[in-house]
Each structure stands twice: as structure tokens, then as C-alpha cells.
Structure 1
Amino acid sequence: MQVLACGAAIVTLSMGIRHGFGLWLQPITQAQGWTRETFAFALAIQNLSWGLFGIFAGMAADRFGAFRVLLVGAVLYAFGLMGMALSSTPLLFSLTAGVLIGAAQAGTTYAVIYGVIGRQIPAERRSWAMGVAAAAGSFGQFLMVPVEGWLISGFGWQQALLVLAAAALLIMPLSLYLREPGFGTGAAQHREQTIVQALREAFGYRSFQLLMAGYFVCGFQVVFIGVHMPSYLKDHGLSPQVASYALALIGLFNVFGTYAAGVLGQRLAKRHILAFIYLARAVVILVFLWAPLTPMSVYVFSAVMGVLWLSTVPPTNAVVAQIFGVAHLSMLGGFVFFSHQIGSFMGVWLGGLLYDRTGSYDVVWYIAIALGVFAALINLPVRESAIRRGPQRVAASA
């Protein structure tokens, strides 16, 4: 339970910080004289960087243990937030808020933490434990987003980022409790497959490809909403407090959604859970766009969307562990998450680009709806049973 508690605390802090970045869109663009596309592009780079570095962070965590990766990630997070506060040009902002923070998130969030959980928690409780960790990330959003809004209003956007930079360093002492036996001690780690063999096997397996495609949609939807909804609401005359409360409600209700998804993953077919989540998102977004926009409609949308927000994470990662085992779980989870982050890149960047071109977010909202239906359909054929892997098969993949 110590591993689960500390892993959940790290995810709470890391995800809590990043979920509030949308609150900085208008203060930074207005202070620097930048377009929304400039800010959106930097956060798009952040999501892409997170996904790309997540692959290597996962490899490193599988090989050397999560502890060292978390230490590096915490330092990068602090420097990235400082750079985000002090950057004076779009290029520097993209390098710090984009590349640096993305790399930091790769080393302090799900791929690394889920690798520890997968190796330390028995298989019969794994889906539940992943649900707890995902719920912690959601609680971080509920906890941190109002705090970040308060910091911005009380101290200014630059000082608020510097406070968060100091807070990110708390990941370092928490990571001490995620040191795994045998990692970093010189003891040989048993590997049935090499990295190349594991990758060939996974990318040649149809269900892995479908999971990656579905996760692309997840990234597109949640990051577009998380970054652009505060500005969407302000454009329609609602106060910044409504946006802060909306993001906090998403985080609060996602605590229940992700935990429920983890529990249900122990009992129901995970592909059915994923198909339901994606289809439900499409319906909820459609109703939100058609209903009159009021603070109450925003809060209802945020609560319902919160239940569906990161609830894809436990079943997706649990399926990967169920199919391929846990020896390379952080790495394979990193590749799946990279697909998620490509979707995140497209969602946040297209949101800024199409807004600047059309003066509206409507096109991106409807793209998100169509993608939700697509993701629901492609998750239905996923096969969840463990892959058959005999000596001949492993040798053939070498």
C-alpha cells in the first residue's frame, strides 16, 4: 500500500499542476501580446514531448527502476515551470512550457507509476490499483486548479508559476518510497524478451494498434477541453471563476469515474468499458453544444464529463498488462500514451489555429464528437486475453 499511496501522491501533484495550464492562456497572451495559437502551440509541443519522452522514461523505469526517473522528472518540472514564467519570446516559451515540461511529465506520471504498480501489485488487484492512481490524478485537478486560480489572482501569473515550480520538487522525497527491490543494486532483472522483441510483438498485434488509436482520441478530447474551455466560456460572457470551478468539477468527478473504471475492469470486459466511455463523451459534448450556455449547464457538463475524463486510463493500461505481461509495461504504456499525446497535440493546436482562423471553437467541438464515435467502434474488437508466447514465438521475433 505504501507504493500505491506514494505513487498516487506523485500523480496528484504532477497532474494537478498540468491540468490548470489553461488558466494561463489569457493572462500570458495578453501580457506578452501573443495570439492564442502561440500559447496553444507551446502546449501542443508539451503534449507531444510528454508522449515522446514517455517512451524513453518507460524504458528507463523498466530497466533501472522508477526512483531515478522520478528524480530527474521532478527537477525538469521545476525548471520548466520557471522557464514558462520567465520566457520572453514564443520560441523560449515553446522550449520551456513545451519541451521541458513535457519531458518532466513523462517522468512523473502514468507510464512510470503504472509500471511500479504493475510490478508490485498482484494481477487480481491491478486494475483496481490503476484506478486508484488515476483517481489520484483527478483529485489533483480538483485540488490544484482552484489553488492555481487563486495564485494567479493573488500573486500574478508569473509568481504563481514560480510557486508551482517549488511545489514540483516535492515529488523527490515522495519518490524515495517507490524504490523497487533489485533495481540499482546490480541484481539482474529477468526479461523473457528483449526490448526489440517486445516492441515487434506489440506493434504486430492488432489489439495493441486499436488501443493506440482509441487513446489518440482520448488525448484529442481531454486536452482540447482542458486548455480551451476557459477561453471558450469567457468568449461567451462567463466569468473566469466559472472556468476554474468547471475544471475543478471535472477533476472531482473524475475521481469517482477513474476509480469506478478500475473496479469495473476487474469484473467486466475492458473493451466494453472503453467503448462506452468514448461514445458517452460524444453524446455529452453534443448535448453541451446544443443546450443554452449558462453556469449551471457548464457545471453539469463538467461533472458528467469528469466521470468520463481519465476513466480510459485504468482499463487501457490494464489491458496492455493483461495481454503482454508487466516486464515491459512502462515502455509499452509509454508507446500507447505517445498515441494519446499525438491526439493531445492535435486537439490543443487545432483549437488555437481554428479559433484564430474562424473566431470560433465550433469546428473542433464537432471533430471531438466524431472522433468519440470512432473510438467507441474500434475498441469493441480488442482481444484482452494474454498473448500466447512460447519459446518458438519469442525466437521468431528476435
Structure 2
Amino acid sequence: MFRALDTPQTWIVTLSAAGILLITMGARQSLGLFVAPLNAGIGVDIASISLALAIGQFVWGAIQPFAGALADRFGPERVLYGGLALLAVGSAITPWSGGTLGLIASLGLLSAMGSGASSFSVLFGAAANRLPLEARGTASGIINAGGSFGQFIFAPILQKLIQAIGWMGAMWSLALMVLAAVPLVRNVAPASTHARPAGHGDGHGPWRSVKEAMQDRSYLLLHAGFFTCGFHIAFLVTHLPGEVNLCGLPPSVASWSLAIIGLGNVFGSLFAGNCVARYRSKYILFWMYGSRALLIALYLAAPRTDLTFYLFAAGLGFTWLATVPPTAAIVGKLFGVRHLGTLFGLTLLSHQTGGFLGAWLGGLAVTRYGDFSWMWYADMTLAGLAALVNLPIREAPVAAQPQAA
């Protein structure tokens, strides 16, 4: 499975990128644990907190194509350093936010921009440009697994910190944790690699590539499916703690469910990275999205117990962010890797547009109806549609792809 990563350099680049994503995604995907403490601590209602986190979901995606374009143009090193600094500052000032506007500024803007600038589009683009073609599929799975393992580690740690030193202390601790990623940046993006000419390698800059990509039907279909992925993940990561609370279960069930999702996706990401080199990515995405619709249906029919949540989390975790390697692979196959940071970043914008709606509408649903029933039905329907829209995507057989060699 790891034969493609056959040199120390490929392992260093891959594991360093995975380590950065471990920290930035672990921090971002655990914010749902702070909803109830924020509600009690500063008196902001759940709908307003959900709006701040929903804005963060959108901003995280909106920054990706711009961060990717900057990295494609000037190199990823400065972008990664800047992103980590913004994420640490946003986390550190959240305890002084005071109200809705403050939360929007700290979590919705600063933290989200920082996390997005040091996330998938920049890291995948940086790694792809430093790795041989045959190693990219496997490497993308390992990098993605790093983000999932971060969720597994951060969720229970932050829950314990919230209980031990309060939500403010936990948020300040989170800011310090983010800085641990700084030493890894040089391994992914050495200073000597920055400042490439805008048209280097293909005769034109990233925004011309964007214009051409937006005229490609397959690229637009990929966006549609990834939109649903964002809706699903943002709804769950923001409101799963609330769903657990509505079922009369302790907060530890929510933190462990989020951790199980992260652990499950470690294996799912590695599996997806391996499958990218063997099967057409559009079929991988079809089965992933289809499985989500089935799992939600099973959850709705099951009794609300600790075991139900843990099994549900394990099933969802296997495909949670494992959609990223096949999605990035399709973008790379369609347009090459020269502007992968920009083009995959734009795909992530679609993902987080769905994420904005998933987080925000979940808060509105529970405020108006007292539960998340309508959100579950919407999520299940969208997952089924996402499975179908991936099938018409234009993708050559794996045998014709060099990375399958």
C-alpha cells in the first residue's frame, strides 16, 4: 500500500503535511464542543453561535482558492505560516469576544481564515509539486488521515480541558497547540521553493485556469457533490453535541463520537488513497456518498443510546473526509497539478458553502422545532443526490492514468 513512498524525502513531505493538517483540522473540527459552554458562559443563544460557526464554515472554504492561488504564485511557505498565526490568534481572543459579533470576528473570520490557509488546498498543492506522480494518491490519503487523526486526538482532549479548566482555558490551550505545527512548515514548503512566475509551466496564471475549469461540466458536477459533503460534515460537527444532549446522554458521548469519527476516517482516508490508484475516483465517491444516506436512515430507525452514536460515528467516520483524496485526484486528472491549489481550493469553496448551510440551518431547526429531524431528512436526501451526480464525471480508466502504474 505504501510502496509508492519509497524514499525518505517523500515520507518527510507527506508526514509533515499530515502533521500540519492534524493540528489545523483537529482544532477546527472540535469547535462544536464549545457551543453549549459559550451559550452558558457569555449568554449568546445557540442560533447566534451557530451563525458564527456557519460563517466560519463558509470563510474556511472561501479562503481556500485565494490561499491556493497565493501558494501557486509565491510558494506555500508564507501562506502556511500566516494561516497558523491567524488560527492561533483567533482561538486566543475568543474568550474576550463578548457577543455574537465578537464570535463572528474570532471564530467566523480569523480562526476560519487561518485554518483554511493552512489546510487542504495549500498542503495538497505543496505536496503534489514535491512528490513523484506515482506517490500522490497514497500521499493524499496519508495527509488526509492526519486531519482525521487530529479530530480523534483533539475532541476528547478539549472536552477534558473544558471540564477541568473551563472553556476559556481550553480555548487558550488550543491556541498554543496550533503553534506546534510551525516547525513542520519547512519540511513541506522549503523557503527555496517560493516565488515562481505566475505562468510557469503552463503559459498562464491560476485565474485563467479557473475560467477554463468553470466551463468543464465534470468540474461543476464534482462541485455539486462536494457541496453536499460540506453540508453533511458541518451539520454533524456543529450539532452532534446538541443531538446527544437532546437524547439525554452525557457530553462525553458527543466528544467520543467525534473522536471515533476522526479515528474511523484515518482508516477511511488510507483506504481511499489506496483506491485512488486502483479505481476511478468518481466510483469511489459514488459509494461514499451512497453509504452516508444509508447510515443516516439506519440511525433514524435506531434507539438513541451510547452504542448507537458510537456505531453511527464509526460508520460515518470511514467516509468523513475520505472524499478529499478522490476529489483532489479528479481535479488533478482533469487539469494537472500546476494550479491544483487554486482549483481544488475552489472546489473546497463549494464544500464550505454547503458547510455554511449545514451549520446555520441546524441551529435554526433546533431553535424553531426543538430537534434536528428535518435536518436529518435533508442530509440523507442530499447524500443520495451527491452519489448520483458523480457518475457522469469525465474520468479516464485507471489503467490509462500514470499514477496507477
TM-score interval (norm. to shorter):
over 0.9
Q: Distance in 1 between matches of 2:335 and 2:192?
A: 22
One-letter identity of the residue aligned with 1:363: W
What is the CA distance between 1:136 and its match in structure 2?
A: 0.7
Partner deviation per Cα, 1:59-109 (whole Å, 9 max, x = no partner): 011111111101100110111001222210210111111011111011111
What is the CA distance between 1:185 and its match in structure 2?
A: 6.0
Name the counterpart of 1:156.
Answer: 166
Name the counterpart of 1:277.
Answer: 288
Q: Answer yes or no: is the 8 Å Cα contact 1:71–1:171 preserved in 2.
A: no
Name the counterpart of 2:326.
Answer: 315
Mapping 1:79-228, distance limit 5 Å: 79-180=89-190, 183-184=193-194, 189-228=200-239
Q: Pick one of 329, 336, 340 that aligns with 1:325.
A: 336
Q: Secondary structure at the match of 2:254?
A: helix
Q: Secondary structure at the match of 2:129?
A: helix
Name the counterpart of 1:257.
Answer: 268
Q: Distance in 1 between matches of 2:203 and 2:297?
A: 47
Q: Distance in 1 between matches of 2:196 and 2:212?
A: 28
- TM-score, reference length from structure 1: 0.94
Q: Distance in 1 between matches of 2:396 and 2:191?
A: 29
Q: Answer yes or no: is the 8 Å Cα contact 1:213–1:375 preserved in 2.
A: yes
Q: Distance in 2 between matches of 1:186 and 1:131?
A: 27
Q: Distance in 2 between matches of 1:210 and 1:187?
A: 31
Q: Secondary structure at the match of 1:156?
A: helix
Q: Answer yes or no: is the 8 Å Cα contact 2:73–2:196 preserved in 1.
A: no
- 1:41 matched to 2:41? The reply is no
Name the counterpart of 1:391.
Answer: none
Partner deviation per Cα, 1:101-139 (whole Å, 9 max, x = no partner): 111011111111000121112222211111111111111
Mapping 1:20-59, distance limit 5 Å: 20-59=30-69
Name the counterpart of 1:392.
Answer: none
Partner deviation per Cα, 1:221-241 (whole Å, 9 max, x = no partner): 011011101111111101111
Q: Answer yes or no: is the 8 Å Cα contact 1:118–1:321 preserved in 2.
A: no
Is there any run of 5+ residues in structure 1 with no aligned partner, and where?
387-398
Q: Distance in 2 between matches of 1:142 and 1:226?
A: 12
Q: Distance in 1 between matches of 2:351 and 2:197?
A: 34
- 1:369 matched to 2:380? The reply is yes
Q: Answer yes or no: is the 8 Å Cα contact 1:67–1:179 preserved in 2.
A: yes
Q: Distance in 2 between matches of 1:306 and 1:90?
A: 31
Q: Distance in 2 between matches of 1:151 and 1:65?
A: 36
One-letter identity of the residue aligned with 1:81: S
What is the CA distance between 1:187 and its match in structure 2?
A: 7.4
Task: Provide closer, same or farther for how the CA distance between residues 29 and 118 of structure 1 changes in structure 2, counting only shifts above 3 A.
Answer: same
What is the CA distance between 1:360 and its match in structure 2?
A: 1.1
- 1:13 matched to 2:15? The reply is no
What is the CA distance between 1:197 and its match in structure 2?
A: 2.2
Identity across aligned pairs (percent)? 38
What is the CA distance between 1:33 and its match in structure 2?
A: 1.7
Task: Provide closer, same or farther for how the CA distance between residues 350 and 185 of structure 1 changes in structure 2, counting only shifts above 3 A.
Answer: closer
Q: Secondary structure at the match of 1:34?
A: coil
What is the CA distance between 1:243 and its match in structure 2?
A: 0.8
One-letter identity of the residue aligned with 2:125: G
One-letter identity of the residue aligned with 1:151: L
Partner deviation per Cα, 1:254-281 (whole Å, 9 max, x = no partner): 1001110110111011101001100100
Task: Provide closer, same or farther for how the CA distance between residues 174 and 301 of structure 1 changes in structure 2, counting only shifts above 3 A.
Answer: same
One-letter identity of the residue aligned with 1:300: L
Q: Pick one of 302, 307, 316 that aligns with 2:313.
A: 302
What is the CA distance between 1:376 and its match in structure 2?
A: 0.4
Q: Secondary structure at the match of 1:268?
A: coil
Partner deviation per Cα, 1:197-254 (whole Å, 9 max, x = no partner): 2112100000000011110000000110111011111111011111111111000111
Q: Answer yes or no: is the 8 Å Cα contact 1:70–1:171 preserved in 2.
A: no
Q: Distance in 2 between matches of 1:275 and 1:326?
A: 24
Mapping 1:233-248, distance limit 5 Å: 233-248=244-259
Q: Distance in 2 between matches of 1:321 and 1:226?
A: 28
Moved more, 270-279 or 115-124: 115-124
What is the CA distance between 1:183 and its match in structure 2?
A: 3.0
Name the counterpart of 2:4.
Answer: none
What is the CA distance between 1:186 and its match in structure 2?
A: 6.9
Is there any run of 5+ residues in structure 2 with no aligned partner, and where?
1-10, 398-405
Mapping 1:339-354, distance limit 5 Å: 339-354=350-365
Q: Answer yes or no: is the 8 Å Cα contact 2:58–2:353 preserved in 1.
A: yes
Partner deviation per Cα, 1:345-394 (whole Å, 9 max, x = no partner): 000000001111111100011100000011000000111249xxxxxxxx
Q: Pick one of 278, 284, 291 that aligns with 1:267.
A: 278
- 1:336 matched to 2:347? The reply is yes
- TM-score, reference length from structure 2: 0.93
What is the CA distance between 1:182 and its match in structure 2?
A: 5.3
Task: Provide closer, same or farther for how the CA distance between residues 185 and 376 of structure 1 changes in structure 2, counting only shifts above 3 A.
Answer: closer
Q: Answer yes or no: is the 8 Å Cα contact 1:139–1:251 preserved in 2.
A: yes
Q: Secondary structure at the match of 2:202?
A: coil
One-letter identity of the residue aligned with 1:95: A
Q: Answer yes or no: is the 8 Å Cα contact 1:83–1:93 preserved in 2.
A: no
What is the CA distance between 1:191 and its match in structure 2?
A: 3.3
